[in-house]
Amino acid sequence: MRNILVLKSSILGENSQSNALSDYFTKQLTANVTIRDLTKEPLPYFESNAIAATRAEPQTDEQRELLDLSNKLIDELKTTDLLVVNAPMYNFGVPAQLKSYFDYLARAGITFRYTSQGPEGLVKGKKAVVILTTGGLHKDRATDLVKCYVSTFLGFIGIVDVEFVYAEALGMGTDAVEKSINSAKLQLDRIIAEL
Protein backbone atom coordinates (compact mmCIF):
# COMPACT_ATOMS: atom_id res chain seq x y z
CA MET A 1 0.00 0.00 0.00
CA ARG A 2 1.43 3.33 -1.01
CA ASN A 3 -1.40 5.78 -0.31
CA ILE A 4 -4.02 5.51 2.41
CA LEU A 5 -6.98 7.85 2.81
CA VAL A 6 -8.67 7.86 6.22
CA LEU A 7 -12.15 9.36 6.53
CA LYS A 8 -13.02 10.35 10.09
CA SER A 9 -16.66 11.25 10.66
CA SER A 10 -17.22 10.82 14.39
CA ILE A 11 -18.45 13.88 16.26
CA LEU A 12 -16.81 12.53 19.44
CA GLY A 13 -13.31 13.72 18.54
CA GLU A 14 -10.73 12.48 21.05
CA ASN A 15 -13.36 10.24 22.68
CA SER A 16 -14.16 8.44 19.42
CA GLN A 17 -13.57 4.70 19.35
CA SER A 18 -13.69 4.64 15.54
CA ASN A 19 -10.98 7.32 15.38
CA ALA A 20 -8.84 5.42 17.90
CA LEU A 21 -9.21 2.20 15.90
CA SER A 22 -8.29 3.82 12.58
CA ASP A 23 -5.27 5.44 14.26
CA TYR A 24 -4.27 2.01 15.63
CA PHE A 25 -4.58 0.55 12.13
CA THR A 26 -2.75 3.23 10.13
CA LYS A 27 0.14 3.60 12.59
CA GLN A 28 1.14 0.02 11.78
CA LEU A 29 1.36 0.63 8.04
CA THR A 30 4.25 2.14 6.13
CA ALA A 31 2.50 4.34 3.62
CA ASN A 32 1.50 7.90 2.89
CA VAL A 33 -1.52 8.48 5.10
CA THR A 34 -3.94 11.32 4.40
CA ILE A 35 -6.50 11.96 7.12
CA ARG A 36 -9.67 13.78 6.16
CA ASP A 37 -11.51 14.64 9.36
CA LEU A 38 -14.99 15.52 8.17
CA THR A 39 -15.97 16.99 11.54
CA LYS A 40 -12.94 19.26 12.00
CA GLU A 41 -13.14 20.41 8.38
CA PRO A 42 -16.81 19.93 7.47
CA LEU A 43 -17.88 20.00 3.86
CA PRO A 44 -20.58 22.43 2.78
CA TYR A 45 -24.03 20.92 3.05
CA PHE A 46 -24.90 19.17 -0.22
CA GLU A 47 -27.84 21.09 -1.64
CA SER A 48 -29.21 22.44 -4.92
CA ASN A 49 -26.13 24.50 -5.84
CA ALA A 50 -23.90 21.46 -5.38
CA ILE A 51 -26.12 19.37 -7.64
CA ALA A 52 -26.30 22.15 -10.23
CA ALA A 53 -22.51 22.53 -10.15
CA THR A 54 -21.92 18.88 -10.99
CA ARG A 55 -24.60 18.44 -13.65
CA ALA A 56 -23.98 21.35 -15.97
CA GLU A 57 -21.54 24.18 -16.51
CA PRO A 58 -21.39 26.03 -13.17
CA GLN A 59 -23.08 29.42 -13.40
CA THR A 60 -22.09 31.07 -10.13
CA ASP A 61 -18.90 31.44 -8.09
CA GLU A 62 -20.42 29.24 -5.40
CA GLN A 63 -21.18 26.51 -7.93
CA ARG A 64 -17.62 26.70 -9.30
CA GLU A 65 -16.23 26.35 -5.76
CA LEU A 66 -18.46 23.34 -5.10
CA LEU A 67 -17.39 21.71 -8.37
CA ASP A 68 -13.73 22.32 -7.48
CA LEU A 69 -14.34 20.73 -4.07
CA SER A 70 -16.00 17.68 -5.63
CA ASN A 71 -13.13 17.32 -8.13
CA LYS A 72 -10.56 17.59 -5.33
CA LEU A 73 -12.27 14.89 -3.25
CA ILE A 74 -12.57 12.58 -6.26
CA ASP A 75 -8.93 13.11 -7.28
CA GLU A 76 -7.86 12.38 -3.69
CA LEU A 77 -9.82 9.13 -3.74
CA LYS A 78 -8.53 8.08 -7.15
CA THR A 79 -4.89 8.37 -5.99
CA THR A 80 -5.63 6.21 -2.94
CA ASP A 81 -4.77 2.53 -2.72
CA LEU A 82 -6.57 1.88 0.57
CA LEU A 83 -9.60 3.75 1.86
CA VAL A 84 -10.26 3.57 5.61
CA VAL A 85 -13.76 4.73 6.51
CA ASN A 86 -14.73 5.43 10.10
CA ALA A 87 -18.47 4.77 10.16
CA PRO A 88 -19.99 5.16 13.60
CA MET A 89 -23.70 4.36 13.69
CA TYR A 90 -25.83 7.34 14.71
CA ASN A 91 -29.53 6.57 14.97
CA PHE A 92 -29.17 3.65 12.52
CA GLY A 93 -27.33 5.71 9.89
CA VAL A 94 -23.96 7.23 9.11
CA PRO A 95 -22.99 10.67 10.38
CA ALA A 96 -24.24 13.51 8.18
CA GLN A 97 -20.62 14.48 7.51
CA LEU A 98 -19.90 11.10 5.89
CA LYS A 99 -23.13 11.18 3.89
CA SER A 100 -22.20 14.62 2.55
CA TYR A 101 -18.75 13.35 1.56
CA PHE A 102 -20.32 10.48 -0.36
CA ASP A 103 -22.69 12.93 -2.07
CA TYR A 104 -19.73 14.94 -3.38
CA LEU A 105 -18.14 11.74 -4.74
CA ALA A 106 -21.19 10.49 -6.67
CA ARG A 107 -20.66 11.98 -10.14
CA ALA A 108 -22.16 10.42 -13.26
CA GLY A 109 -19.50 9.93 -15.90
CA ILE A 110 -16.68 10.41 -13.38
CA THR A 111 -17.12 7.97 -10.49
CA PHE A 112 -19.90 5.90 -12.06
CA ARG A 113 -21.81 5.63 -15.31
CA TYR A 114 -25.12 4.24 -16.41
CA THR A 115 -25.07 1.37 -18.89
CA SER A 116 -27.73 -0.85 -20.43
CA GLN A 117 -26.73 -3.44 -17.80
CA GLY A 118 -27.17 -0.94 -14.94
CA PRO A 119 -24.76 1.40 -13.17
CA GLU A 120 -21.02 0.73 -13.39
CA GLY A 121 -18.52 2.06 -10.87
CA LEU A 122 -15.49 3.82 -12.31
CA VAL A 123 -13.28 3.97 -9.20
CA LYS A 124 -11.75 0.53 -9.51
CA GLY A 125 -8.78 -1.29 -8.03
CA LYS A 126 -9.20 0.11 -4.52
CA LYS A 127 -9.55 -1.68 -1.21
CA ALA A 128 -11.65 -0.28 1.62
CA VAL A 129 -11.66 -1.05 5.32
CA VAL A 130 -14.75 0.22 7.12
CA ILE A 131 -14.53 0.57 10.89
CA LEU A 132 -18.13 0.35 12.04
CA THR A 133 -18.83 1.28 15.66
CA THR A 134 -22.16 0.93 17.43
CA GLY A 135 -23.53 1.42 20.92
CA GLY A 136 -25.63 -1.75 20.71
CA LEU A 137 -25.58 -5.03 18.82
CA HIS A 138 -26.44 -4.74 15.12
CA LYS A 139 -24.07 -6.96 13.10
CA ASP A 140 -25.99 -9.38 10.85
CA ARG A 141 -29.33 -8.02 12.05
CA ALA A 142 -32.03 -6.03 10.29
CA THR A 143 -30.71 -2.90 12.03
CA ASP A 144 -27.24 -3.23 10.41
CA LEU A 145 -28.11 -0.37 8.08
CA VAL A 146 -24.69 1.29 8.05
CA LYS A 147 -23.02 -1.75 6.47
CA CYS A 148 -25.76 -1.96 3.85
CA TYR A 149 -25.50 1.75 2.98
CA VAL A 150 -21.70 2.01 2.94
CA SER A 151 -21.13 -1.21 0.98
CA THR A 152 -23.83 -0.22 -1.53
CA PHE A 153 -22.35 3.24 -2.06
CA LEU A 154 -18.76 2.04 -2.36
CA GLY A 155 -19.82 -0.72 -4.76
CA PHE A 156 -21.80 1.80 -6.79
CA ILE A 157 -18.65 3.84 -7.47
CA GLY A 158 -16.56 0.71 -8.12
CA ILE A 159 -14.96 -0.14 -4.77
CA VAL A 160 -15.99 -3.75 -4.25
CA ASP A 161 -13.09 -5.05 -2.13
CA VAL A 162 -14.57 -3.90 1.18
CA GLU A 163 -13.90 -5.33 4.61
CA PHE A 164 -15.95 -4.36 7.66
CA VAL A 165 -14.43 -4.28 11.14
CA TYR A 166 -17.05 -4.09 13.88
CA ALA A 167 -16.69 -2.62 17.35
CA GLU A 168 -20.15 -3.12 18.85
CA ALA A 169 -21.79 -2.80 22.26
CA LEU A 170 -19.83 0.36 23.03
CA GLY A 171 -22.76 1.66 25.07
CA MET A 172 -23.18 -1.55 27.05
CA GLY A 173 -20.61 -1.18 29.84
CA THR A 174 -16.84 -1.26 30.24
CA ASP A 175 -16.48 -5.03 29.95
CA ALA A 176 -18.36 -5.05 26.65
CA VAL A 177 -16.32 -2.09 25.37
CA GLU A 178 -13.00 -3.73 26.23
CA LYS A 179 -14.01 -7.02 24.62
CA SER A 180 -15.29 -5.29 21.48
CA ILE A 181 -12.24 -3.03 21.04
CA ASN A 182 -9.88 -5.98 21.50
CA SER A 183 -11.85 -7.99 18.94
CA ALA A 184 -11.73 -5.08 16.46
CA LYS A 185 -7.96 -4.75 16.93
CA LEU A 186 -7.53 -8.45 16.19
CA GLN A 187 -9.54 -8.01 12.99
CA LEU A 188 -7.36 -5.03 12.02
CA ASP A 189 -4.18 -7.00 12.78
CA ARG A 190 -5.39 -9.77 10.46
CA ILE A 191 -6.08 -7.26 7.68
CA ILE A 192 -2.61 -5.73 8.12
CA ALA A 193 -1.02 -9.18 7.86
CA GLU A 194 -2.90 -9.79 4.59
CA LEU A 195 -2.00 -6.48 2.93
Q: Is 18 annotated as a binding residue?
A: yes
Gap between the Cα atoms of 132 and 54, Å rounded: 30
Length, in residues, of the chain: 195
Q: Is 134 annotated as a binding residue?
A: yes
Q: Is 101 annotated as a binding residue?
A: no
Question: Which residues, 6+ apart, have CB-to-CB distance to 8 below 8 Å?
Answer: 16, 18, 19, 22, 35, 36, 37, 38, 39, 40, 86
Q: Is 172 annotated as a binding residue?
A: no
For residue 85, the 8-state DSSP code is: E
Q: Is 10 annotated as a binding residue?
A: yes
Gap between the Cα atoms of 183 and 179, Å rounded: 6
- Residue 15 one-letter amino acid: N
Q: Is 111 annotated as a binding residue?
A: no
Q: Is 71 annotated as a binding residue?
A: no
Q: Is 183 annotated as a binding residue?
A: no
Q: Which residues are annotated as a binding site for FMN?
A: 10, 16-18, 89-92, 133-136
Q: Which residues are annotated as a binding site?
A: 10, 16-18, 89-92, 133-136
